[in-house]
Amino acid sequence: MSFPFVQPYFGLGNSLQTAQAGGAGGVGGWVELARTTLGASTSGDIVVSGLSDKRYYMVLMDQQATGIVRPNIRLNTDTGSNYAYRYSGNGGADSSSASQTLAEISNNESNDLPQFSIAYLSNVSSKEKLGISHTIYGGSGAGTAPQRTETVFKHAQTSNPISSFSLYNDKAGDWDTDSEVVVLGWDPADTHTTNFWEELASVTTGSAGDTLQSGTISAKKYLWVQASYKNDGGADINALPRFNGDGGSNYSKRTSTNGASDNTRTSRTWIDVESGGQTQRFANMFIINNASNEKLCIFHQMDYGGSGASTAPNRIDGVAKWTNTSDQITSIEWDQRDAGDYAAGAELRVWGSD
C-alpha cells in the first residue's frame, strides 16, 4: 500500500507518476470530495459536508479574514465536549486541552492577515478520528517572520465515519470572501482517474551541479513540492528555494531543527530551509499560491545524518513566505548556494491544483 501523506511513486519513473496523477491505469490517488468557497464574508462556520467515507483525508484551508480570526476544527458538526488536542506555537512548549468542543489549530490572536492550514485525518468508523495539522499565519512584509502552529487532535467518536468538516472561528472577526476549505480523500480501494494533484514538473539532474529548477509551470492555487538531493562528495551544499527567479529581499522564514527553539530569518533573497552539510536530504512543501496575497509555505525536511542505523537523522520543521502580492508562482528553483554541488540524480517534483 502506498503511504498517502507523501505523493505515491515519487522517484519511481514517469509512467507511475502519470498514473498517480490520474492518467493511464486508473490507480486512484487523492480525489477531491467536496469544497466550500465563500462568496461573501461570514461569522459562521465554513462547512464542507456530504463527504464520502475514505480511509484518509487531506484538508487544505485558505483563510481570508475581516478582523481577527482563529481557525478551529469540528467534525460531523459535533459541538459536544468530544475533542482533545495538543499544540505548539512557534516551536514553544506543548499545551494540551481535553474534553473540548473543538480542536484549535492556530495561535493567531492579533492580526487579520491570510492564514494557510493543511490537515491530515485518519478515518475508521469504529475508532476515534485522529488528526495532524500545520498552520502558517501572521506578519506582513519580508521584514516580519511568519508564525506557525502544529497540532495533533482527536475526535472521540467511534460509531460513524467522518461526513463533514467544519472550520470554526472563535474570535470576533469574520471569514472573508474567497476563504475556502477543500477536502480530499484517499482509500486503498480507489481506482478513479481524477486525482486532485496534477503533476506540473518532474526534474532529475543528469550530472552534478548547483541548479535544481522546475522550469515554467502552470499557475495553480495550491502547490505541493518535493525535493530529494545530496552533495557530490565534495564541499557542503545548502539548498535555498526561491520563486519566479526573484532574487530580491522578499522572503522570510521560521524553522526548528530537531525540536530546538525556532530560528527566524527576514528580508532574505531566498528561503533558508536548512543549514549547510553534506548528507542526503528529502523535503516536502505545501504552498498557497494566491496572486494578490503573500505566498505562504509549510515545509518539513530531513537529512539522513550519516549512513547506517547507528546515526539518527535530522529534521527541520518550518514555514516561510514570499511577499509578492501581484503574481502567482510559475517557476521554482531549489538551488544550492554553498561551495559544493548536488550529485547527479537530484530530483524536484511539483504538483498543483486550483
Q: Dump pLDDT digits (tens) for 31-59.
A: 999 999 999 999 889 999 999 999 999 99
**Is the model more confident about 302 or about 120?**
120
Domain end among 159, 186, 213: 186
- Is residue 296 over pLDDT 60? yes
Asked if pLDDT for residue 109 goes beyond 90, the answer is no
Alpha-carbon dihedral angle through residues 22, 200, 341, 230, given to the nearest 10 degrees: -30
Alpha-carbon separation of residue 152 from 26, 106, 122, 126, 130 (angstroms): 33, 12, 12, 19, 8
pLDDT at 83 over 70: yes
Task: Tell me what pLDDT residue 27 has.
Answer: 64
Inside any domain, residue 95: yes
Domain identity same for 349 and 216? yes
Specify whether 131 is located in the same domain as 98.
yes
The reported pLDDT for the residue numbered 304 is 78
Classify residue 270: in a domain, yes or no. Answer: yes
Quick one: pLDDT at residue 277? 63
Residue 24 has pLDDT above 50, yes or no: no
Structurally, the chain folds into a number of domains equal to 2
In this structure, are 36 and 172 located in the same domain? Answer: yes
Q: What letter represents residue 330's amino acid?
A: T
pLDDT at 314: 85
pLDDT band at 195 (very low <50, low <70, confident <90, very high): very high
| Tens of pLDDT, residues 205-230 | 888 777 889 999 999 999 999 998 87
Query: pLDDT band at residue 337, thresholds of 50, 70 and 90?
Result: confident
Residue 63 maps to a domain: yes
Residues 207, 345, single domain; the answer is yes
Range of the domain at 301: 198-353
Are 224 and 343 within one domain? yes
Boundary (domain end) residue, out of 134, 162, 186 = 186
Domain membership flag for residue 120? yes
Residue 165, Cβ neighbours under 10 Å: how many?
A: 27
The number of C-alpha atoms within 13 Å of 223 and in the hemisphere containing its C-beta is 29
pLDDT of residue 5: 43
Q: Evaluate if residue 77 carries a pLDDT over 50.
A: yes
* pLDDT tens track for 148-188: 999 999 999 999 999 999 999 999 899 999 999 999 999 98
Same domain, 129 and 211: no
pLDDT score, position 73? 97
Give the model's confidence band at 278: pLDDT under 50 very low, under 70 low, under 90 confident, else very high: low
Q: What is the CA radius of gyration of the chain?
A: 20
Is 103 domain-assigned? yes
Pairing of strands 314-322, 295-303: antiparallel
Which comes out higher in pLDDT, residue 37 or 12? 37
| CA-based nearest residue to 46, from 182, 215, 151 | 182
Domain boundary at 152, 186, 220, which?
A: 186
Q: Tell me, yes or no, whether 323 and 255 share the same domain.
A: yes
Q: Please report, rounded to a whole number, the percentage of residues in the chain having pLDDT higher than 70.
A: 90
In a shared domain, residues 182 and 299: no
34/40 Cα distance (integer angstroms): 19
Among residues of the chain, what percentage have pLDDT more than 90? Answer: 64
Q: pLDDT value at position 111?
A: 80
One domain for residues 148 and 248: no
In the DSSP assignment, the letter for residue 286 is E
Are 132 and 169 in the same domain? Answer: yes
Mean residue pLDDT of the chain comes to: 87
- What is the Cα–Cα distance from 47 to 34, expressed in whole angstroms? 10
* DSSP conformation letters of 11-60: TS-HHHHHHHTT-TT-----EEEEEEE-SS-BSS-EEE------SEEEEE
Residues 211 and 234: their CA atoms lie apart, in Å, by 16
At 14 the pLDDT is: 35
Same domain? 131 vs 221:
no
Of 107 and 99, the structure prediction assigns the larger pLDDT to 99
The three grid cell numbers given for residue 181, joined into one nine-digit string: 476549505
Report pLDDT for 231: 75
pLDDT tops 90 at residue 117: yes
Predicted pLDDT of residue 352: 97
Give the CATH number of the domain where residue 53 resides: 2.60.120
**Distance, CA of 282 to CA of 269 (rounded, Å):** 22
Has residue 16 been placed in a domain?
no
Residue 208 lies in a domain: yes
Q: Are residues 263 and 306 in the same domain?
A: yes
